[in-house]
Structure 1
Amino acid sequence: ISMHGGGGAPPRVNDQQWRNQIRLYAPSEGIVVAPRAPTDTWNLWHQSHIDDLFDRLIANFVITRGVNPDRVYLMGYSAGGDGVYQLAPRMADRFAAAAMMAGHPNNASPLGLRNLPFMIFMGGKDGAYGRNKVAAQWGKTLEELREADPGGYDHKATIYPQHGHWMNGDDREALPWMIAKTRDPWPKRIVWKQSGRTHERFYWLQVPKGVAKGGQQIEAEVQGQQVTIQSGGAQEIILRLSDRLVNLDKVVTVNADGVEVFKGKLERKARVIWESLKQRPDPNSVATAELHLELRR
């Protein structure tokens, strides 16, 4: 999925940017989808409806074109890069890798990128809105996150000192790096940081409808048969489980905020599979068992 630039401009300007984006990148394999943004606002690629649009877009291509849901990629230039900064952390469980070109993150947080390889490309002379400085800072932040959590935050940040906002196609080096990555829909560790546009499901974590809160952070990790959760104050969490994550024939133990909240076996159920597929036609992330935790204390 390749997002065009433009933004707060007349439709004809954004139409031109869209047509340019269609021609901008040509990977050696796969299908390039360059949508025209539904609006002409400055934040055209990170308004709340974009998440639903891309969910449906991915589903359509998985169902009708046989796209592998573990090999879906996100990229964008300028205002499209703004969208990558915002969408990649909040929809990280949908993508195998993401590349941001010449954008600005605004209020986005990189924490949700724990399991999503992320590239930054920026011209060193691209000083509008401090884009170059912010890109360098994000690269530094991702490096610090990687050092603290070596199993996550795979990234590459490239600042081209000779370029301004237009990078003359040098950013196309993102393509071979990205397509070498494959999504893991069942990572052993998750950092789920909600943005202002909340989601109910992230990898194998879920919260009930209407419970998600902007700014909330839930962390979860699996070691063997033990699941450890830092709830971030969430009072209800649903674990979406599969034999790809734990052995459902054996006892599973769950600790939340230092307290054991479950120990036992979980039954595989057709209903859970069906509900998972109704949420998303993504066979690789289908849960076969679930555990609803109430953490009110």
Structure 2
Amino acid sequence: MHYLIKTSILMLLVILVLLSAAPFTNAQSQQFSEEKLAQSLERFHKADLNKNGKLTVEEIQQFRQSRQRNRRRAAAVRATQAKDANLNETLSRMNAQFNNVEVELLEWPSELHEKLGKMTKFALVTWPVEKVEGKLPLLINLHGGGQRWFDFDFQRQLEIAAQMGMKRGFDLAELVGKGLITLDPNTAERWSADSLDMMLDYVLETFPEIDEDRVYVMGYSAGGGATWRWINQSSDRFAAAAPCGFTGGSANDDAKKLANLPIWTMAGSEDGKNPAGIRKMVERLSAAGNVNVKHTEFEGADHREGGRAVFETAELVDWMLGFSK
């Protein structure tokens, strides 16, 4: 009898251990399915540490960590371990969905942040997982949103974006799987071209990995308007631009200043006044001598659907990368 009791207790303990481990195993299997591991092996043969032709969850995690450790980075802007644990957790969930890129938090130094208006102290910088030789192009994406959106903190914005399928630069980088860096700054008010110029100065001075002749900018909605204002002020800083989903600027804008800047605009056909305004903007740019201006209209798409379509257009990145200053 005593033996049976001891055996029963032992079996109960084993069952409890297995049950406690189950959620972790299920979570891992969701993040790293067999199909995903096989795809990762095709891209990154070096991740197969034991050279058996198969990847394990542990191997791919070690590979990602080694990539992060080995990536040359200026110490002043080394990716921050945010004090906010929830923000780190959100970032981990985002990265678990990506194969081609790693998204990291970038914290602006206090001295710089004080000069950036209402830009938040954190930005998101995305690096290719696969090592690329030489300098890399930089794609800056400016998000949209109004006051109601700005009132949310950065963490809440990322959660809402994930729930609603709102895309940013890092999503486009993952989609195309190219060797480029993307930067998604964040603001709590209307974007300022002066603040963005100061931000870009700092980024180019601090990240020697970036090819200054291949800097690109894009944005949708309010981010599209901000892209338009920024290139009007500092067109010489960019190799190409994509201001999308906004009103199309003003007839008073000096289109001749942008005659040599490749520009691709996009909008949903059912996005209020935006598609007509953008078509007129394209006409003004063409009349000013811009031979590298183009426009895409997504048939039947409203404002939100047009935004998703922009960030699903992989050809946009290929087109941009074809230009250099």
Aligned partner of 2:241: which letter? A
Deviations 1:51-92 (A, max 9, x none): 21122223323x2x2x22111111112221111111112211
Q: What residue number does 2:262 align with?
A: 117
State how far apart, in whole Å, the 2-side matches of 1:36 and 1:177 are. 23
Amino acid at match of 1:79: A
Question: CA offset at residue 14 of structure 1?
Answer: 4.5
CA contact (8 A) 1:119 1:157 kept: yes
Q: Secondary structure at the match of 1:6?
A: coil
Counterpart-to-counterpart distance in 1, 2:157 and 2:254: 27
* 3-state SS of 1:70 partner: strand
Larger helix proportion, structure 1 or 2?
A: 2
Other structure's SS at 1:139 match: helix
| 1:138 Cα offset (Å) | 0.5
SS at match of 2:181: coil
| Corresponding residue number in structure 1 for 2:323 | 181
Amino acid in the other structure paired with 1:124: S
Q: Which letter does structure 2 place at the counterpart of 1:95?
A: F
The answer as to whether partners of 2:244 and 2:266 remain within 8 angstroms in 1 is yes
Partner of 2:201: 55
Please say if residues 14 and 40 of structure 1, whose CA atoms lie closer than 8 Å, have aligned partners that are also in contact: no
Q: Which has the higher strand share?
A: 1
SS in structure 2 at match of 1:34: strand
**Structure 1 unmatched runs, 5+:** 147-151, 184-297
Deviation per CA, 1:249-284: give whole Å up to 9, x if none: xxxxxxxxxxxxxxxxxxxxxxxxxxxxxxxxxxxx
Mapped contact 1:145–1:153 kept (Cα < 8 A)? no
Distance change (3 Å), C-alpha of 1:106 and 1:142: closer
CA distance in 2, matches of 1:35, 1:105: 22
1:46 alignment counterpart: 192
Q: CA 1:17–1:50 in 2, change beyond 3 Å: closer, same or farther?
A: farther
Among residues 11, 20, 29, which one is paired with 2:178 in the alignment? 29
How much does 1:17 deviate? 4.7
Amino acid at match of 2:259: R
Which runs of 5 or more residues in structure 2 are unaligned? 1-139
TM score, norm. by length of structure 1? 0.51
- Find the aligned partners of 2:223 and 2:183 in 1 and give their Cα distance: 10
Distance in 2 between residues matched to 1:74 and 1:124, nearest whole Å: 23
Structure 1 residues 50, 104: closer, same or farther in 2, change over 3 A? farther
Output the CA distance in 2 between the equivalents of 1:59 and 1:29: 23
CA RMSD of aligned residues (A): 2.5
Report how far residue 8 of structure 1 moved.
2.1
**Residue 294 (structure 2) aligns with:** 156
Q: Which has the larger radius of gyration?
A: 2
Distance in 2 between the 1:115 and 1:72 partners?
15
Where 1:158 maps in the other structure, the secondary structure is strand
Structure-1 residue corresponding to 2:145: 6
Quote the Cα distance in structure 2 between the aligned partners of 1:73 and 1:93. 11
Cα distance in 2 between the residues matched to 1:21 and 1:138: 24
Secondary structure at the counterpart of residue 75 of structure 1: strand
Q: CA deviation at 1:136?
A: 1.0
Distance apart, 1:134 and its partner CA: 0.9
- In the aligned structure 1, how far is the partner of 2:247 from the partner of 2:202? 26
Q: Distance in 2 between matches of 1:102 and 1:172?
A: 17
Paired letter, 2:324: T
